[in-house]
Amino acid sequence: MREENEEEFKTTDIFLASFIEVSGIPHEMGMNRSFVEFRFPATVELFDLVKKYNQNSTTVAIAEYIAVLRELKSKMYGFKTSSRPERLEAVPSSRGL
């Protein structure tokens, strides 16, 4: 786990987070209000990757990218429900019971 004072790059964009993860930079997750954030150490390498992603000037293995995207989605939904259990009780049943 990183120190609290270490600079972080935070994003709620799961597609960008998947790209960064596939590129070899591990993430941590946290909550910002009701949104899950993906947090990465703020390094020159990370900002180069973000720049390449935004310019669409790089490639990744699509199968690996999709696998990481699915994994992050699963973790994100699990993280949201474990961090906010009161939300599960507040949702009315759609079955009309």
Kindly state whether residue 95 falls inside one of the protein's structural domains: no
- pLDDT at residue 82, as a whole number: 67
Report whether 12 contacts 36 (CB < 8 A).
Answer: yes
Q: What is the pTM of this model?
A: 0.74
Domain count, the chain: 1
CA distances from 93 to 79, 85, 86, 90 (A): 22, 16, 15, 9
State phi, psi for 11 to the nearest 5 degrees.
Answer: -145, 150
The residue range of the domain holding 79 is 8-87
- pLDDT at residue 33, as a whole number: 81
What's the average pLDDT block by block, 10 residues per block, for the chain (97 residues)? 67 95 92 87 95 93 94 84 47 36
Kindly state whether residue 97 falls inside one of the protein's structural domains: no
Kindly state whether residue 42 falls inside one of the protein's structural domains: yes
Kindly state whether residue 3 falls inside one of the protein's structural domains: no
Kindly state whether residue 72 falls inside one of the protein's structural domains: yes
- pLDDT at residue 1, as a whole number: 45
